[in-house]
Amino acid sequence: MYLLAPGLRNSHLVALNTDYLYHLGLDTSMDLKAMFGDVQYVCMGGSSVRAEKFATKAAEDLGVEIPEGGVTPIGKTERFSLYKVGPVISVSHGMGMPSMLILLHEITKLLHYAGCENVKFIRIGTSGGVGVEPGTVVVTSEGLNGKLEPKFELVQLGETREYPTQLDSELTREIYEARGDIRAEIGKTMGTDDFYEGQGRLDGALEPSYSEAEKLAFLQRAHDAGVLNIEMESSAFAAFCLRAGIPATIVCAALLNRLEGDQVTSTPEQLGQFSDGAQQVVLNYIRGKLQHNQ
């Protein structure tokens, strides 16, 4: 039996003798408090490779000792890869909102059972920029859906529910202020259900129902509404964290300017630098906070 704490708001969980966090390969029969009780930040990105890279980079940047041979994942890795480096969890969430929501539910329960308090969630990733230069790091103030609405729609028991998508303004500002010499902006992020037609691309396998002129008109309208980038998670991520009472924001590097084209043409070296920029902004913020709290 478990008492509920801020961040976990499902009264049905108190009836569970053991809660199996199936996709993480963890459950409440384990000593989750000993394993995760000191976590203050959960940093998540799409791929397992990126999660491992961020964990390694965090250990170096924060001065956390890791075993010889490098960081190792905790739990099972069929769906997600989870690493812990000091007070930081680095975990992959897969691609798109459905995969990410599974992780959000299970990682939130994990931290509740571990007795963590005041944990912040930060999604770090890549995106298509809208009216910004490639390499720009966008720190998200609000997630919008594919219709440019500040809400996330979820079908539950055959009915559509709507949830607001604001992100934590203080966390967003503090991360932006930790950018150093990295080019960054604060703006809205549109989250879509698809990479190709859902984002208005013309280079998918199917003939789209819109013209290039219509695509550009929509992207310009999005930019005029404050959208600086597009990805596939923002509205669901923002809505979940707001419902759970978890301070959260999104930090994504723009890989291209969608007003100038659809395909990512930067070199692998440039793409690596862009991704590293987003990760470094977050690490600058975390390092500053940990040093201030010492």
The residue assigned the tokens 């932006």 is 176
So what's the pLDDT on residue 69? 86
Identify the helix (H) or strand (E) that includes residue 243: helix 234-244
Q: In terms of Cα–Cα distance, which of 26, 80, 22, 83 is closest to 52?
A: 83
Angle in degrees, 0-180, between the axes of helices 97-113 and 234-244, rounded to the nearest 10: 30
Q: From the centroid of its chain, how far is CA 203?
A: 26
pTM confidence score: 0.95
3-state SS of 5-32?
A: CCCCCCHHHHHCCCCEECCCCEECCCCH
CB-CB contact of 90 with 54 (8 Å): yes
Q: What is the pLDDT of residues 11-22, one digit of tens each?
A: 898 889 999 999
Identify the helix (H) or strand (E) that includes residue 160: strand 159-164
**For residue 200, what is the DSSP state?**
T
Residues of the chain with pLDDT under 50: 1-4
So what's the pLDDT on residue 5? 52
Q: What is the pLDDT of residues 161-194, one digit of tens each?
A: 999 999 999 999 999 999 999 999 999 999 999 9
Query: Distance (Å, rounded) from C-alpha 81 to C-alpha 49?
Result: 9
Query: Distance (Å, rounded) from C-alpha 3 to C-alpha 181?
Result: 45
